[in-house]
């Protein structure tokens, strides 16, 4: 049975900790991790939680307890991972467009380094040769993902080294003695079709022939989660079966046994998250009824940035008649969460919940308009635990220096 929090629990938590509030369900995260582990049980698979989706230290500790590894995109995420208890060999560091010093900082901490730039690859090889194994992020030139903003493997992407630059990569490896232990690709997020992964794997197998010391192939992630009742999700069981067959066939043909790595982020935490807000005002114009809530894109930017859909429910009046509302925020910009959405009648003071808010919600929040960031709460074993305090006014002044 799928784990979920009840409306009564969410109302109780909001009454206790105030609104807006992010709420995460530990058992749901565990459920999703177990689903992946079972789906890829026939593969030699490792899972690295893409912590950019949600980096609260308690979530990182939970992932560590579940047996996950960690995927990081900045040196501070690496440091957070170490603080949460991950060992260096459990951390993959995949930065993009960073200074070489940041790559070196990761190397000095002993984590897996994933390089996606010819210049950085050459600098690393010249300085460290074969003394420190690296992974190379390739751009497979595959267009995938829910929309262009979350597609990262197409020909004009800033991510990865083009597969058509393989001769250049080989020259660097040969001249510096660089030890390439892994190859990486990530085509995008919200991938419905498992054949995208298989298409990418075919490219990666072809590239693998250039690297005799290869130990793993990292297929990134992009597993899709459903956002509404009729939405699709990536069939991870089907994908696990097909990948197992592909890797077994590769081993028969080459005699090489490779691990497969994945970097799920949204898949693990999105459905565990709830964002509860309060209806401040009901405002009617000539054509639209607005629900103005005590939040905005400063707290949840995905609908505005990615045109992302979040199901919204009135948990204070769940049996009320359905009305059509446009849900907007309190920011002095156009911050529309949803247009013309059917929601049970909303009264001023009602609590609304945004579902699937665990990934890239609080993580992408800001203090725009000098608004305060919300609290975060983790529900584990039925207990609601405050894992981040709500901002206070003084937080807006922190690090500012008054010189006038």
Q: Binding site for substrate: which residues?
A: 302, 306, 333, 360
DSSP conformation class of 109: H
DSSP conformation class of 169: H
Are 300 and 357 contacting, i.e. CB atoms less than 8 angstroms apart? yes
- What is the DSSP pairing of strand 273-284 with strand 289-293? antiparallel
Residue 208 and residue 135: Cα distance in Å, rounded?
A: 12
Are 367 and 298 contacting, i.e. CB atoms less than 8 angstroms apart? yes
Annotated binding-site members for pyridoxal 5'-phosphate: 222, 360
Residue 393 and residue 186: Cα distance in Å, rounded?
A: 40
Are 206 and 246 contacting, i.e. CB atoms less than 8 angstroms apart? no
Residue 338 and residue 327: Cα distance in Å, rounded?
A: 5
* 324-346 as b/e: b if 16+ CB within 10 A: ebbbbbbbeeebebbeebebbeb
Residue 288 and residue 284: Cα distance in Å, rounded?
A: 6
Catalytic site includes residue 43: no
* Catalytic site residue from 51, 72, 97, 332: 332
391: helix, coil or strand? coil
Annotated binding-site members: 222, 302, 306, 333, 360
And the tokens for 225?
A: 């989660």
Residue 24 and residue 380: Cα distance in Å, rounded?
A: 9
Tell me the CA distances in angstroms from 5 to 11, 251, 336, 380, one per residue in order. 10, 44, 26, 11
Residues 55, 102, 305, 369, CA torsion sign: positive
Give the bridge partners for 283, in sequence order. Answer: 290
Tell me the CA distances in angstroms from 235 to 39, 143, 282, one per residue in order. 9, 19, 41
Q: What is the DSSP string of 280-339?
A: EEEEE-SS-EEEEES--TTT--HHHHS-----EEESSSTTSPEEEEEEE-SSSS--EEEE
- What is the DSSP pairing of strand 21-25 with strand 273-284? antiparallel
Which residues belong to the active site? 332
């Amino acid at each position: 049975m799928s784990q979920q929090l009840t409306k009564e629990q969410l109302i109780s938590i909001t009454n206790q900790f105030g609104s807006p509030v992010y709420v995460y369900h530990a058992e749901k995260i565990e459920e999703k991790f177990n689903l992946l582990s079972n789906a890829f049980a026939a593969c030699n698979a490792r899972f690295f939680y893409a912590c950019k989706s949600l980096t609260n230290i308690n979530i990182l500790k939970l992932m560590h307890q579940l047996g996950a590894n960690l995927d990081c995109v900045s040196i501070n995420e690496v440091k957070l991972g170490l603080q949460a208890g991950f060992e260096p060999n459990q951390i993959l560091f995949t930065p993009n467009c960073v200074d070489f010093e940041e790559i070196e900082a990761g190397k000095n901490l002993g984590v897996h380094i994933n390089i996606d730039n010819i210049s950085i690859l050459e600098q690393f090889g010249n300085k460290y040769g074969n003394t420190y194994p690296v992974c190379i992020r390739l751009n497979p030139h595959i267009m995938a993902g829910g929309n262009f903003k979350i597609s990262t493997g197409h020909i004009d992407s800033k991510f990865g080294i083009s597969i058509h630059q393989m001769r250049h990569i080989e020259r660097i490896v040969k001249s510096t003695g660089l030890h390439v232990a892994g190859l990486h690709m990530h085509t995008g997020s919200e991938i419905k079709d498992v054949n995208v992964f298989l298409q990418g794997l075919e490219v990666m197998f072809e590239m693998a022939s250039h690297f005799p010391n290869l130990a793993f192939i990292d297929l990134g992630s992009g597993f899709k989660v459903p956002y509404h009742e009729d939405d699709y999700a990536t069939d991870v069981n089907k994908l696990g079966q097909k990948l197992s067959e592909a890797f077994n066939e590769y081993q028969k043909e080459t005699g090489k046994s490779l691990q497969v790595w994945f970097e799920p982020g949204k898949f693990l935490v999105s459905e565990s998250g709830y964002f509860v807000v309060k209806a401040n005002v009901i405002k009617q114009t000539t054509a639209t009824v607005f629900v103005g809530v005590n939040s905005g894109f400063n707290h949840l930017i995905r609908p505005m940035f990615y045109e992302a859909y979040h199901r919204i429910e009135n948990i204070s009046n769940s049996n009320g008649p359905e009305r059509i509302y446009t849900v907007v925020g309190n920011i002095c910009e156009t911050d529309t969460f949803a247009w013309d959405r059917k929601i049970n009648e909303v009264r001023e003071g009602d609590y609304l919940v945004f579902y699937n808010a665990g990934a890239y919600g609080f993580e992408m929040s800001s203090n725009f308009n000098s608004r305060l960031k919300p609290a975060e709460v983790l529900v584990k074993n039925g207990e609601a635990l405050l894992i981040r305090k709500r901002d206070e006014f003084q937080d807006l002044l922190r690090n500012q220096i008054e010189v006038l």
